[in-house]
Structure 1
Amino acid sequence: MNKYSVVFKGTAFSSESPKEVKILRDYLFYINSDGMIEKMVSPDDGDYQSLLDEYQGKENFHSLADGQYFLPGFVDLHVHAPQWAQSGTALDIPLYDWLNTYTFPIESKFADLDFANEVYQEVVSTLLANGTTTALYFATVHKQASLELAKICAEKGQRGLVGKVVMDDPEQNPEYYRDADAKTALADTEEFILAVKELAKSTKQGVYPVVTPRFIPSCTDEALKGLGELAVKYDTYVQSHCSESDWEHGYVKERFNKNDAFALHDFGLLREKSVMAHCNFLDDDDAELFAKTGTAIGHCPISNAYFANSVIPIAHLHSKGVEIGLGSDISGGFSPSLFDNVRQAVMSSRMLEDGVNPNVPAEERGKPNSRITINEAFYLATAGGGESLSLPIGRLAENFAWDVQIIDTKIGTAKIPLFDENEELIDIFQKIMYLARPENIREVWVQGEKVHSRGE
């Protein structure tokens, strides 16, 4: 009997550090029954050929074809799962109008479990097809529908971190869509946490409950305090929005006479397992608080272009020791692809560094040292996301989960232009990151299990 569940052979790209991509040329990857990378063997290793001979030709041996490469699965740190139903609509109107005209009416429909199931089945499948192996989801205020999303992640093989949204303030939320009161919201959240923890016992790749105040403006002090206590009691993840826009940042400052980050911290919501979306308006004190508490940022570059009123200084925040990953923010971000968000992260950083107002002199126009490279954006989508969640994911390395996407550069309808047989692998990596489309993602594996495949 073979010792390993699956053995793979092929060339892979993985982040060595935020700025360096490690090229693993023709490596052997040995995956154990738990879906973890137990052993990696380079062609330079003395036992490479003997190990290859032992497994080659066996049913559990997979060798990549010419033009195929491994990438780590993407980690999406911010998805509004119910908003998949409105993706691509009304992104040209102000945030307040967008929420009240489109988002809240759509989210209120998730009281209907059949509707919730239909949308959630599709969004999980879509993200898997786009290479997202782990997703941090906002659901809705509905406990049962939120649990349905966790069950669908478990069934489809995606690593899902799911939050039942809390929004209980009657002054800030529509009557037709909110928690009845803080007490009800907290009771529902606790029951949801327990149900997901029970589900996790039989889910190989993991599903996790997440304490989820929508954001401070939507919650009463009582709810925020209670959610912080639940996060500590059950050692759960926490997610919310933080300093996303001028309006939110200003609202919290007026309500508490302090920045969003410090207000969240006062309620016990900034911790090692916390991920805050957007964070465009963090100052240095906020950033130091994030670094001190282990709170991560879910950077959503496409969504920010529509609703955040600014470009977040990713390079500066990274230099402060803040953990940062990438988020699609469906549907404030129109694309379910982190490839698209990787590209936008690079473009936005260049615009921040160079400036955008042609009426300002070039030397005064931008913010120096703000650009990030494609290598850094790749890191945010993979290893940075894994570090933000404190999980062994996002890298192709020993003792990490076998979460991968197999990229085929020779797909007929989406060929990546590789005409020089001696082209440097780092150049091939960059072409993949800038040009890959969903058609190029031939297979997706999570925790050693194939969860998506695309035919010819």
Structure 2
Amino acid sequence: MKNIVKVLKGTGFSSISAHEVEVLENYLYCIDDQGMIAKRLAPSDALYQSALQEAKKEDKLTELAEGQYLLPGFIDLHIHAPQWAQSGTALDIPLYQWLNTYTFPLEAKFEDTAFAEKVYAHLVDTLLANGTTTGLYFATVHEEASYKLAEICAQKGQRGLVGKVVMDDSEQNSDYYRDKDTQTALADTERFIQRVKALQAETFQGVYPVVTPRFVPSCTDSALAGLGKLAETYDVHVTSHCSESDWEHGYVKERFGKNDAQVLKDFGLLRDKSVMAHCNFLSESDVVTFKETGTAIAHCPISNAYFANSVIPIKQFHELGVEVGLGTDLSGGYDPSVYSAIRQAVISSRMLEDGVDTKKDPKERGTNHSRITVNEAFYYATAGGGESVSLPIGRLAEHYAFDAQVIDTTVSQASMPIFDKTEPLEDIFQKLLYLTKRENIVSVWVQGKQINE
């Protein structure tokens, strides 16, 4: 028990693989002074009773109540932080119109750092309350407001990966909202990386700078090349959109004569720490490129239903070796809860497999071998997300950060239909994923610290 500062006792669930979930009944999670799970003990382990008694004696024990369960904290791989202010707005119009009529005018307001702080503080609080312990964020083109988001993540205890967005192409972006020019975009990005790395050094749970071209259509070739060099120089994460919709995918193909994935690779933007959102239109060669470079997909099933013009064959991509996590894609996805993304991922995959056109014969209606299980969606939201950002997060396992959410199934305003104490824990796990609301999440832990109760 050396260096153990906290011990939590309770029943939890954690992914072993995309298909298999561990049921950790009455386990002890022994957390060290770095916020890592140093030891995980089952009741059958020889050290269990002595560790439990020692934790009680030293007042280090936290014990879950009856009806409470532990899940890993969720990892949201695609969040447009400024768009929280318009969440739930204008989702019935095409992507290009939505961006230019609503989104870009809103994001331009983040030149006002006070406004940015107000929105970002509310967003991070909301995400934590919904069990999101790690967020991968697009901010805006404004360096100061983007840094403010990283500061807020650091202060509130969330693990944040934050990108200052680059949009430097004067032909594709409005004068009122874009980088001044390519040189300014790259200089601001480099300074942002340096500032967040300095902040990271003094933040317990970690905050990380991210190289963030908005997407290929908004950037010049020079900017894309420069961002690729910055990613390599500083060994930082990269995120962008890739082959999201007919419009975006078609634009890139017309401009470069190849798909987004190959363009991004040529500019050095597909790397082991790269996460690309959407990716609905990846070709077979694109999938190979993702696998070879270690690039992950941020699967955003809710926003895909509104703007992607398709259902991504995510099961097939994952089985071909591409890392996959989940994203809410606020505000193209209206809901800040990763639980909703889990549910929609399952629903969309079933629609892809079964098909939607009733005029077609059932054998021709869908795409075989497309449906995912709730176990797979849970994996994407947790362990898969951790692998996607190359961090030891997303599992209730030894040598992983203790990022967790405590779900109370008995809270009066959102109690769950669990009436039989002999109900299998595997069934309760599924109820947690399908029925949990914000009210059920009674505490959240990040890097071994309880930050929300």
Q: How far off is 1:47 after superposition?
A: 2.0
Q: How far off is 1:57 after superposition?
A: 5.5
Q: Supply the AA of the counterpart residue of 1:15.
A: S
SS in structure 2 of the partner of residue 56 of structure 1: helix
Q: Considering only aligned residues, what root-mean-square deviation do their CA atoms show, in Å? A: 0.9
Looking at structure 1, the residues matched to 379 and 308 of structure 2 have their Cα atoms a distance apart, in angstroms, of 23
Give the equivalent residue in structure 1 for 2:17: 17
Give the equivalent residue in structure 2 for 1:195: 195
Q: Supply the AA of the counterpart residue of 2:225.
A: K
SS in structure 1 of the partner of residue 118 of structure 2: helix
* Deviation digits for residues 219-261 of structure 1 (CA, Å, limit 9, x no counterpart): 0001000000000010010000000001111111111101110
Give the equivalent residue in structure 2 for 1:6: 6
SS in structure 2 of the partner of residue 70 of structure 1: strand
SS in structure 1 of the partner of residue 9 of structure 2: strand
The TM-score normalised by the length of structure 2 is 0.99
Q: Supply the AA of the counterpart residue of 2:74.
A: F
Give the equivalent residue in structure 2 for 1:136: 136
Q: Supply the AA of the counterpart residue of 1:49.
A: Q
Looking at structure 2, the residues matched to 233 and 48 of structure 1 have their Cα atoms a distance apart, in angstroms, of 46
Give the equivalent residue in structure 1 for 2:255: 255
Give the equivalent residue in structure 1 for 2:445: 445
Give the equivalent residue in structure 2 for 1:389: 389
How many percent identity over aligned positions? 66
* Deviation digits for residues 171-216 of structure 1 (CA, Å, limit 9, x no counterpart): 1111100001100000000000000000001001000000000000
Looking at structure 2, the residues matched to 2 and 379 of structure 1 have their Cα atoms a distance apart, in angstroms, of 31
Extract unaligned runs of 5+ from structure 2: none
SS in structure 1 of the partner of residue 227 of structure 2: helix
Say yes or no: does 1:369 pair with 2:366.
no
Say yes or no: does 1:243 pair with 2:243.
yes
Looking at structure 2, the residues matched to 63 and 127 of structure 1 have their Cα atoms a distance apart, in angstroms, of 24
Q: How far off is 1:59 after superposition?
A: 3.1
Q: Supply the AA of the counterpart residue of 2:147.
A: L
Q: How far off is 1:340 after superposition?
A: 0.3
Q: How far off is 1:287 after superposition?
A: 0.3
Looking at structure 2, the residues matched to 238 and 338 of structure 1 have their Cα atoms a distance apart, in angstroms, of 21
Looking at structure 2, the residues matched to 396 and 52 of structure 1 have their Cα atoms a distance apart, in angstroms, of 18
Question: Is the contact between residue 3 and residue 33 of structure 2 (CA under 8 Å) also seen in structure 1?
Answer: no
Between 1:96-105 and 1:212-221, the stretch displaced more is 96-105
Give the equivalent residue in structure 2 for 1:339: 339
SS in structure 2 of the partner of residue 413 of structure 1: helix
SS in structure 1 of the partner of residue 413 of structure 2: coil
Q: How far off is 1:58 after superposition?
A: 4.2
Counterparts of residues 41-120 of structure 1 (less than 5 Å) = 41-56=41-56, 58-120=58-120
Q: Supply the AA of the counterpart residue of 1:53.
A: Q
Give the equivalent residue in structure 1 for 2:319: 319
Give the equivalent residue in structure 1 for 2:178: 178
The TM-score normalised by the length of structure 1 is 0.98
Report runs of 4+ in structure 1 exceeding 3 Å deviation.
none
Give the equivalent residue in structure 1 for 2:417: 417
Looking at structure 2, the residues matched to 315 and 3 of structure 1 have their Cα atoms a distance apart, in angstroms, of 41
Q: Supply the AA of the counterpart residue of 1:360.
A: K
Q: How far off is 1:3 after superposition?
A: 4.0
Extract unaligned runs of 5+ from structure 1: none
Between 1:2-11 and 1:160-169, the stretch displaced more is 2-11
* Deviation digits for residues 279-336 of structure 1 (CA, Å, limit 9, x no counterpart): 0000111000000000000000000000000000011101110000000000000000
* Deviation digits for residues 39-91 of structure 1 (CA, Å, limit 9, x no counterpart): 01100112211211111264321000000010000000000000000000000
Between 1:2-11 and 1:84-93, the stretch displaced more is 2-11
SS in structure 1 of the partner of residue 434 of structure 2: helix
Looking at structure 1, the residues matched to 385 and 415 of structure 2 have their Cα atoms a distance apart, in angstroms, of 28
SS in structure 1 of the partner of residue 414 of structure 2: coil
Say yes or no: does 1:151 pair with 2:151.
yes
Give the equivalent residue in structure 1 for 2:399: 399
Q: Supply the AA of the counterpart residue of 1:262.
A: Q
Equivalent pairs counted in the alignment come to 453
